[in-house]
């Protein structure tokens, strides 16, 4: 039933991953210290070794999640067939979205549940935080269309309770977390469970029903998280992310589930919660002081998972639950905008990590989230310290003793620096190679076009991500610096569409990255020319950043980055596209009465 390990198994998995990660970090730091101190120890050598330890530990920790996933992999459990004895609300928060496309997702999921004959035990609540006064009335009109399309007019005429609800808040206090909390406070008592979605979420009816059955079978379970698969990507950037999510993420998620046990993650969507547990445990405080470190908590999902665990409820990730989908950013700019919000939210956790009563693992999850955004600063510091150390290195003294007849050549420790570099590259590539070999052995590779196509996709993704990485590092570094300097990034609406950019748009977003690339290359050439070969993999992508941003927004087509969802389109996605196509010719103009629009049963 569960993909989670026992508490002792989770502790063993954590200890193994931590031990190996720390060991690799210490080993890399020791090797680099020998290289740096070959011409005489300086303080900068200790700084560089410390930075090598931190960055190697972080990469090794990520790699160990994949290893744990492969070690703990097992055949997925059979789905349950127990009767549904509970009521579930399916919550769709929206914020300045295209209502026709979003409401069609609600209709598609209802079609899937109706096909299974269980629709009567599920209600849909569209929770609008839309602030755009043009989009708000459109939401009301499309809700009428959804209401009528799914036969609610006939139900009301027969005296049956409606199953679709919509309300729009005048003020989006607390943003999405406040939106969900408002629902639980006013209407949650009607339901046992709530499936929390995003506006771009889609889930198969079979998956939703199985989640309910697993929640019914585990009364101590407060939250059940699925692993969403990215679908619908069209650009080179989007389809590379879609391939990674389909090919690599299940293994990493299995490793995460093994280490976290029942103190697992919540990613804010495509997860089911026990209403009573969530309502009693997860009311979020407003942090003192102004944003970015004060105010409403942006990365609320990690905090809610920690609060559930603190109250004794289980929080579980079941990666075997298929049929859970979302959309992803189609270009690097949209990804960076979303990542800026995540950065601010994760750094806010500095204020939360010491909260009383939290589980130790919950605190570690907060630490991971903070480190994931601080780590780019360590890479920048490492590059800068290497430039400084090389530029200020003393000239070798071949005759250190007076009247010495024969020169003494300094020990060449270059091989150790090369070994560290190869090891770091190996930590980036090793997990992906292991996952490919495992996919071949298990036959999973057939879903991605076979061995040759999957290998081609993996190599293409590796090259593309290696080029993108320095650019993303610059965006993340800027985001961290903005937060540290007190700049609030807010909560921008998600951009939808094919994501194609013009070159002027790409240049406007990336010119400053290009400038930094030129500065890095010029400084290296002037003060540390011996490092030029090592700096090229970072400097060149920075110099051509606008071109990379523009090119990766262009369309990409199979067979490269082929995923199972493209080979065999899931039924709920087929239904969604069919409904959108049918609704395209419809222009709803009737506004539903306020009683039907705004009121969710209390």
pLDDT at 172 over 80: yes
CB atoms near residue 36 (< 10 Å): 25
197 located within any domain: no
111 located within any domain: no
pLDDT band at 406 (very low <50, low <70, confident <90, very high): low
Instruction: Kindly report, residue by residue over 59-91, the tens digit of the pLDDT.
Output: 999 999 999 999 988 788 889 999 999 999 999
Average pLDDT of the residues of the chain: 90
Residue 489 tokens, joined: 């990034």
* DSSP state letters, 371-427: HHHHHHHHHHHHHHHHHHHHHHPPPP-S--STT--S--PPP--HHHHHHHHHHHHHH
Specify the range with the lowest mean pLDDT, choosing from 283-292, 491-500, 558-567: 491-500
Spatial separation of the C-alpha atoms in residues 17 and 257, rounded to whole Å: 13
Residue 551 tokens, joined: 């090119």
Q: Tokens 């996709």 appear where? A: 457
Task: Please report the pLDDT score of residue 423 as a whole number.
Answer: 87
522 located within any domain: yes
Report yes or no: 32 and 49 within 8 Å, Cβ to Cβ: yes
Task: Please report the pLDDT score of residue 425 as a whole number.
Answer: 87
* Relative orientation angle of helices 571-584 and 99-116, to the nearest 10 degrees: 130
Residue closest to 274 by CA, chosen among 348, 400, 344, 188: 188
* Relative orientation angle of helices 205-217 and 99-116, to the nearest 10 degrees: 70
pLDDT at 373 over 70: yes
Residue 283 tokens, joined: 């009311």
- Quote the percentage of the chain above a pLDDT of 70: 92
Task: Please report the pLDDT score of residue 472 as a whole number.
Answer: 96
Report yes or no: 88 and 212 within 8 Å, Cβ to Cβ: yes
Of 470 and 391, which is predicted with more confidence?
470
Spatial separation of the C-alpha atoms in residues 549 and 553, rounded to whole Å: 7
Instruction: Give the angle subtended at the CA of 78 by the CAs of 111 and 6, to the nearest 5°.
Output: 120
Tell me: cis bond preceding 559? Omega within 30 of 0 counts. Answer: yes
CA dist list (Å): 60 to 24, 52, 323 = 7, 12, 31
Residue closest to 27 by CA, chosen among 48, 46, 45, 52: 52
Report yes or no: 315 and 225 within 8 Å, Cβ to Cβ: yes
pLDDT at 220 over 80: yes
Exposed / middle / buried, residue 279 (Cβ in 10 Å: 0-12, 13-18, 19+): middle
The stretch 179-204 carries a mean pLDDT of 95
81 located within any domain: no
Of 410 and 502, which is predicted with more confidence?
502
Task: Please report the pLDDT score of residue 394 as a whole number.
Answer: 63
Residue closest to 239 by CA, chosen among 51, 484, 491, 460: 460
pLDDT at 4 over 70: no
The stretch 542-569 carries a mean pLDDT of 95
Domain total in the chain = 1
Task: Please report the pLDDT score of residue 167 as a whole number.
Answer: 94
CB atoms near residue 85 (< 10 Å): 10
pLDDT at 405 over 90: no
Q: Tokens 């400038």 appear where? A: 515
Would you give the DSSP letter of residue 263? B
Specify the range with the lowest mean pLDDT, choosing from 49-53, 296-300, 588-592: 588-592
Task: Please report the pLDDT score of residue 397 as a whole number.
Answer: 55
Residue closest to 352 by CA, chosen among 267, 295, 280: 295
pLDDT band at 218 (very low <50, low <70, confident <90, very high): very high
pLDDT band at 597 (very low <50, low <70, confident <90, very high): very low
| Cα 581 → chain centroid | 30
**Three-state SS sequence of 179-239:** HHHHHHHHHHHHCCEEEECCCCCEECHHHHHHHHHHHHHCCCEEEEECCCEECCCCEHHHH
- Give CA torsion, residues 472, 478, 483, 489, to 10 deg: -70
pLDDT at 378 over 80: yes
The stretch 161-171 carries a mean pLDDT of 91
Q: Tokens 């690799």 appear where? A: 24
pLDDT band at 407 (very low <50, low <70, confident <90, very high): low
Of 399 and 74, which is predicted with more confidence?
74
Q: Tokens 């090369």 appear where? A: 418
Residue closest to 493 by CA, chosen among 92, 179, 95: 95
The stretch 530-549 carries a mean pLDDT of 95
Task: Please report the pLDDT score of residue 352 as a whole number.
Answer: 96
Report yes or no: 453 and 463 within 8 Å, Cβ to Cβ: no
Q: Tokens 């002792």 appear where? A: 8
Instruction: Kindly report, residue by residue over 294-337, the tens digit of the pLDDT.
Output: 999 999 999 999 999 999 999 999 999 999 999 999 999 999 99
pLDDT at 195 over 70: yes
The stretch 431-451 carries a mean pLDDT of 96
Of 407 and 543, which is predicted with more confidence?
543
pLDDT at 38 over 60: yes
Spatial separation of the C-alpha atoms in residues 56 and 26, rounded to whole Å: 9
Specify the range with the lowest mean pLDDT, choosing from 323-327, 395-399, 418-422: 395-399
The stretch 162-176 carries a mean pLDDT of 91
Spatial separation of the C-alpha atoms in residues 562 and 439, rounded to whole Å: 14
250 located within any domain: no
3-class SS at 447? Answer: helix
pLDDT at 500 over 90: yes
Residue 189 tokens, joined: 């008592």
| Cα 66 → chain centroid | 16
The strand pairing partners of 203, in sequence order, are: 324
pLDDT band at 400 (very low <50, low <70, confident <90, very high): low
516 located within any domain: yes
Task: Please report the pLDDT score of residue 507 as a whole number.
Answer: 97
Spatial separation of the C-alpha atoms in residues 360 and 176, rounded to whole Å: 27
Residue closest to 390 by CA, chosen among 264, 584, 534, 230: 534
Spatial separation of the C-alpha atoms in residues 207 and 313, rounded to whole Å: 22
Task: Please report the pLDDT score of residue 417 as a whole number.
Answer: 74
The stretch 365-377 carries a mean pLDDT of 94
Residue closest to 537 by CA, chosen among 457, 446, 428, 414: 428
3-class SS at 551? Answer: helix
Spatial separation of the C-alpha atoms in residues 163 and 147, rounded to whole Å: 9
Task: Please report the pLDDT score of residue 588 as a whole number.
Answer: 59
519 located within any domain: yes
Task: Please report the pLDDT score of residue 455 as a whole number.
Answer: 97
**Three-state SS sequence of 315-381:** EEECCCCCCEEECCCCCHHHHHHHHHHHHHHHHHHHHCCCCCCCCHHHHHHHHHHHHHHHHHHHHHH
Exposed / middle / buried, residue 104 (Cβ in 10 Å: 0-12, 13-18, 19+): buried
| Cα 354 → chain centroid | 24
pLDDT at 601 over 50: no
The strand pairing partners of 273, in sequence order, are: 194, 223
521 located within any domain: yes
CB atoms near residue 470 (< 10 Å): 24
Task: Compute the residue count for the chain.
Answer: 602
pLDDT at 602 over 50: no
Structural domain span for residue 537? 501-553
Residue 230 tokens, joined: 């990215």
């Amino acid at each position: 039933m569960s993909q989670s390990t026992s508490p002792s198994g989770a502790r063993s998995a954590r200890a193994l991953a931590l031990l190996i990660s720390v060991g690799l970090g210490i080993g890399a730091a020791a090797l680099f210290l020998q290289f740096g101190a070959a011409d005489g120890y300086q303080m900068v050598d200790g700084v560089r070794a410390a930075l090598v330890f931190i960055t190697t530990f972080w990469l090794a920790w990520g790699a160990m999640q994949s290893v744990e996933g492969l070690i703990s992999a097992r055949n997925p459990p059979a789905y349950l067939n127990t009767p549904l004895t509970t009521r579930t609300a399916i919550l769709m928060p929206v914020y300045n979205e295209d209502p026709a496309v979003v409401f069609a997702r609600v209709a598609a999921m209802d079609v899937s549940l109706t096909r299974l004959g269980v629709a009567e035990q599920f209600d849909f609540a569209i929770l609008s935080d839309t602030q755009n006064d043009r989009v708000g009335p459109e939401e009301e009109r499309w809700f009428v269309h959804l209401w009528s399309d799914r036969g609610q007019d006939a139900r009301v005429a027969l005296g049956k309770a409606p199953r679709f609800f919509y309300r729009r808040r005048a003020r989006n206090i607390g943003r999405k977390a406040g939106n969900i909390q408002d629902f639980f406070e006013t209407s949650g008592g009607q339901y046992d469970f709530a499936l929390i979605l995003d506006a771009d979420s889609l889930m198969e009816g079979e998956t939703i029903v199985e989640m309910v059955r697993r929640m019914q079978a585990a009364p101590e379970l407060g939250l059940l998280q699925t692993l969403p698969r990215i679908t619908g990507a069209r650009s080179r950037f989007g389809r590379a992310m879609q391939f990674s999510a389909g090919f690599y993420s299940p293994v990493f998620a299995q490793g995460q589930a093994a280490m976290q046990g029942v103190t697992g993650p919540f990613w804010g969507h495509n997860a089911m919660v026990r209403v009573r547990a969530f309502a009693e445990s997860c009311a979020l405080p407003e942090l003192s002081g102004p944003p970015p470190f004060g105010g409403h908590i942006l990365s609320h999902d990690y905090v809610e998972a920690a609060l559930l665990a603190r109250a004794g409820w289980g929080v579980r990730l079941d990666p075997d639950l298929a049929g859970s989908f979302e959309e992803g950013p189609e270009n690097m700019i949209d990804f960076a905008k979303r990542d800026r919000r995540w950065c601010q939210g994760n750094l806010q956790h500095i204020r939360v990590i010491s909260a009383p009563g939290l589980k130790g693992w919950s605190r570690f999850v907060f630490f991971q989230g903070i480190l994931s955004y601080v780590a780019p600063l360590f890479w920048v510091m490492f590059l800068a310290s290497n430039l400084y150390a090389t530029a200020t290195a003393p000239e070798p003294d071949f005759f250190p003793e007076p009247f010495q007849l024969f020169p003494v050549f300094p020990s060449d420790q270059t091989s150790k620096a090369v070994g560290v570099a190869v090891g770091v590259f190996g930590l980036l590539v090793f997990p992906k190679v292991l996952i490919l070999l495992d996919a071949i052995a298990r036959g999973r590779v057939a879903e991605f076009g076979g061995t040759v196509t999957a290998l081609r996709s993996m190599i293409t993704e590796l090259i593309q991500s290696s080029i993108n990485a320095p650019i993303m590092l610059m965006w993340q570094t800027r985001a961290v610096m903005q937060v540290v300097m007190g700049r609030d990034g807010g909560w921008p609406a998600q951009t939808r569409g094919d994501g194609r950019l013009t070159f002027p748009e790409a240049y406007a977003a990336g010119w400053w990255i290009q400038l930094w690339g030129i500065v890095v290359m010029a400084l290296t050439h002037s003060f540390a020319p011996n490092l030029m070969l090592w700096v090229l993999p970072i400097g060149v992508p920075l110099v051509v950043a606008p071109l990379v941003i523009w090119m990766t927004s262009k369309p990409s087509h199979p067979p490269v980055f082929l995923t199972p969802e493209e080979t065999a389109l899931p039924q709920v996605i087929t239904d969604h596209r069919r409904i959108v196509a049918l609704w395209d010719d419809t222009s709803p103009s009737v506004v539903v009465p306020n009683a039907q629009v705004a009121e969710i049963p209390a």
